[in-house]
């Protein structure tokens, strides 16, 4: 029988190592080391220190960036794990020249990069532009919802939080009453008593935490659904519906170029609704790219479909490709998609009514007219309201298909208006139903979804470890910087390391 030399992976050995020989050309660490040493201006960090003559030397910002970006690229983004890498991982030791910062120093460095992080991101983006990795013809905008360092348990309106506080205080009162009763009966073991007292102390700390929050914070602005929920741990985060369920976290938005999926501008928001941020994201992307986006195609999903967004893009010379929520129902390729679903009431939309521009009326399937009554404004958008006669809807054979509830007496329609009488929503609906519109929108998923797949699945950067909008935004920009620096070398995903030749 063949015999082989024994291999023991648990053993350790002291060997001499030259750090510069560990950073081999063609690897990600080589690209990262070159970019930070030669292309990123780390002098912007100098003003944070005042130790020219006195005080201990600070950690080199370039070294800290190398440690953090390399660790993030390996899915390690907690400060304690990064400190452990600095002690044990030979590549991190080589990148940092054997610098081993304490985990608190790593956390403080990341948390305090508010004014410097965008400069670092912009330096990397300029390298991408020099290497012709940015095409600049089509851009996609979307959001990636990530959990934050906060729990849903501590969320609720101020009324909910007061009820939670009262419930905790009542629980403590009941436990204390039980203690007193059992003490009088003489049947309370000392061990159980200490355990219950520890539990009572923890409950009181929770109640005090809620009380302190209610005294020092104000309720969030009300929406059409009522008061927005606050969070005791991180009040700038929000409850967000995602593909992984409802999470407490932030929505990381990114504007991505179509050529090599390079992120041109990222920002995190504590809100689940994305459409309201389109104007700001596009405006900041133009500033970062230092050029106008006139005649460029801007594509996004149905969350961004609104008259306001379409008007902004069109009036600024851009070409929006943003479908409405019902565009798939009108697509002949999906005409049988709902064949197994139960029939729903009230499926008729404004598209099921014929508009007569000369008389300014809508005509329903029965032939009845919905006449204009008045204009009203909601969320800065003015709508024209059309109403059908009560007698026409009372015995209509299409009533259950037209009205959502049996208690609704007559049908109404709302149509968005503009000062120039141009209806951008209607124009986009017509365009998205054309072969050209469907073809352009189909590119959106290939542009931006690989970015979020690389960040979340390939790199493992699937949550925020910090609290507060500013700090979580720093992490989101760092995540996107890692993506631009070291995209996966497969198929269409590739960045400086893969395509740049560095």
| Residue 493 forms part of a structural domain | no
Residue 495 lies in a domain: no
Residue showing tokens 């139960």: 342
Helix axes 469-485, 61-73, angle to 10 degrees: 80
Same domain, 374 and 454: no
Torsion angle, alpha carbons of 233, 234, 238, 242, to 10: -80
The answer to whether residues 320 and 469 belong to one domain is yes
Residues 173 and 208 occupy one common structural domain? yes
253, 172: one domain? no
Residues 80/102, Cβ–Cβ less than 8 Å? no
For residues 264 and 412, membership in a common domain is answered with: no
pLDDT at 111: 94
Dist. CA 434–CA 439, nearest whole Å: 9
Q: Is 118 a domain residue?
A: no
Q: Which helix (H) or strand (E) holds 33?
A: helix 28-38
How far apart (Å, rounded) are the C-alpha atoms in residues 80 and 102? 8
Please compute Rg for the chain using Cα positions.
29
Tell me 50's DSSP state: -
Does any domain span residue 297?
Answer: yes
Distance CA 384, CA 390 (A): 19
* 247 touches 147 (CB < 8 A): yes
Task: Establish if 293 belongs to a structural domain.
Answer: yes
What's the pTM value of the predicted model, to 2 decimals? 0.81
Residue 320 · residue 309 · CB < 8 Å: yes
Is residue 87 located within the same domain as residue 204? no
Give the 3-state secondary structure of residue 404: coil
162 shares its domain with 299: no
Which DSSP helix (H) or strand (E) runs through 267? strand 263-269
- The residues, any chain, with a CB within 8 Å of residue 170's CB and separated by 6 or more, are none
Going by C-beta distance under 8 Å and a sequence separation of 6 or more, which residues neighbour residue 207?
A: 165, 168, 169, 172
Do 180 and 138 meet the contact criterion of CB atoms below 8 Å apart? no
Q: 174 CB contacts (<8 Å, ≥6 apart)?
A: none
Please, is 320 exposed, middle or buried when counting C-beta atoms within 10 Å of its C-beta (0-12, 13-18, 19+)?
A: buried
205 C-beta neighbours (distance < 10 Å), count: 10
Any domain includes 153: no
Residues 254 and 142 in one domain: yes
Does any domain span residue 352?
yes
Write the CB contacts of 100 (distance below 8 Å, at least 6 apart in sequence). 83, 86, 87
Q: For every one of its 502 residues, what pLDDT tens digit does the chain have, with 9 covering 90 and above?
A: 899 998 899 888 888 889 988 999 888 898 899 999 999 999 999 988 888 888 889 999 999 999 999 999 999 989 999 999 999 999 999 999 999 999 999 999 999 999 899 999 999 999 988 888 898 899 999 999 999 999 888 999 999 999 999 999 999 888 888 877 777 766 666 667 778 788 888 999 999 999 999 989 888 877 666 788 899 999 999 999 888 889 999 999 999 999 889 999 999 999 888 889 999 999 999 999 988 899 999 999 999 998 889 999 999 999 999 998 888 877 777 666 666 566 655 567 787 888 988 889 999 988 899 999 988 876 556 788 999 998 888 888 888 888 878 888 889 988 877 545 567 888 898 899 999 999 999 999 999 999 999 999 888 899 999 999 999 999 999 999 999 886 554 333 335 665 555 5
315 and 255 in one domain? yes
For residue 145, the cross-strand partners are 251
325: number of Cβ within 10 Å: 11
DSSP β-bridge partners for residue 215: none
- What is the domain count for the chain? 4
Six-digit token pair at 68?
A: 């953090």
**One domain for residues 60 and 201:** no
CATH number of residue 450's parent domain: 3.30.420.10
Question: Containing domain of residue 397, as a range?
Answer: 332-421
195 in the same domain as 313? no
Q: How far, in Å, CA of 258 to CA of 136, rounded?
A: 7
| Strands 319-321 vs 226-227: parallel, antiparallel or unpaired | unpaired
Q: At what angle do helices 117-130 and 28-38 cross, to 10 degrees?
A: 110
Q: Where are the beta strands (DSSP E) in 306-423?
A: 319-321, 354-356, 361-363, 369-378, 381-388, 412-417
Does residue 499 lie within any of the structural domains? no
**Distance between the two ends of the chain, CA-based, in angstroms?**
49
User: At a CB cut-off of 8 Å and minimum separation 6, what does 110 contact?
Assistant: 68, 79, 466, 471, 474, 475, 478
Q: What is the DSSP string of 120-156?
A: HHHHHHHHHHHTT----SEEEEEEEEEE-SS-GGGEE
- pLDDT for the residue 231: 92
Distance CA 451, CA 456 (A): 9
Do 143 and 246 fall into the same domain?
Answer: yes
DSSP 8-state code for residue 60: P
**Interior angle at CA 157, CA 154 and CA 162, nearest 5:** 75
Dist CA 279 CA 335 (whole Å): 33
């Amino acid at each position: 029988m063949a015999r082989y030399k024994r291999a023991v992976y648990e053993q350790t050995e002291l060997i001499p190592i030259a750090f510069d020989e560990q950073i081999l050309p063609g690897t990600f660490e080589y690209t990262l080391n070159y970019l930070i040493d030669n292309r990123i201006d780390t002098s912007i960090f100098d003003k944070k220190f005042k130790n020219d003559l006195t005080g201990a030397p600070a950690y080199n910002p370039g070294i800290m960036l190398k440690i953090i970006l390399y660790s993030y690229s390996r899915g390690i983004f907690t400060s304690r794990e990064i400190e452990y890498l600095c002690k044990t991982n030979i590549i991190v030791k080589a990148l940092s020249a054997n610098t081993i910062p304490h985990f608190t120093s790593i956390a403080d460095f990341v948390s305090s990069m508010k004014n410097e992080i965008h400069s670092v991101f912009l330096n990397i983006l300029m390298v991408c532009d020099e290497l012709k990795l940015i095409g600049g013809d089509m851009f996609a905008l979307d959001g990636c919802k990530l959990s934050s360092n906060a729990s849903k348990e501590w969320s609720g309106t101020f009324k909910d939080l007061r009820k939670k506080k009262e419930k905790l205080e009542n629980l403590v009162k009941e436990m204390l009453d039980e203690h007193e009763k059992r003490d009088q009966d003489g049947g309370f073991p000392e061990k159980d008593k200490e355990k219950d007292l520890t539990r009572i102390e923890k409950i009181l700390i929770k109640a005090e935490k809620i009380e302190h929050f209610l005294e020092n914070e104000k309720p969030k602005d009300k929406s059409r659904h009522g008061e927005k929920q606050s969070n005791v741990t991180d009040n700038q985060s929000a409850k967000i519906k995602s593909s992984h369920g409802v999470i407490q976290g932030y929505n990381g938005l990114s504007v991505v170029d179509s050529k090599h999926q390079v992120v041109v501008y990222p920002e995190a928001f504590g809100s689940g609704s994305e459409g309201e941020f389109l104007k700001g994201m596009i405006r900041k992307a133009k500033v970062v790219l230092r050029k106008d986006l006139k005649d460029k195609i801007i594509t996004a999903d149905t969350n961004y479909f609104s008259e306001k967004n379409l008007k902004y893009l069109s009036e600024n010379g851009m070409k929006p490709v943003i479908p409405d929520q019902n565009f798939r129902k009108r697509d002949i390729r999906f005409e049988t998609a709902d064949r197994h679903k139960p029939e729903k009431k009230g499926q008729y939309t404004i598209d099921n009514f014929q508009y007569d521009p000369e008389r300014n009326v809508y005509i329903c399937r029965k032939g009845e007219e919905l006449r204009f009554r008045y204009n009203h404004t909601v969320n800065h958008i003015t709508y024209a309201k059309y109403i059908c006669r009560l007698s026409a809807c009372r015995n209509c054979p299409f009533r259950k298909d037209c009205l959502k509830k049996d208690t609704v007496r007559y049908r109404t329609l709302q149509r968005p208006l503009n000062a120039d009488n141009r209806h951008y929503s209607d124009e986009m609906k017509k365009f998205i139903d054309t072969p050209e519109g469907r073809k352009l929108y189909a590119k959106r998923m290939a542009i931006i979804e690989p970015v979020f797949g690389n960040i979340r699945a390939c790199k493992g950067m699937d949550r925020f470890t910090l609290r507060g909008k500013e700090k979580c935004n720093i992490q989101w920009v760092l995540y996107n910087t890692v993506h631009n620096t070291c995209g996966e070398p497969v198929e269409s995903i590739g960045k400086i390391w893969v395509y740049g030749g560095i």
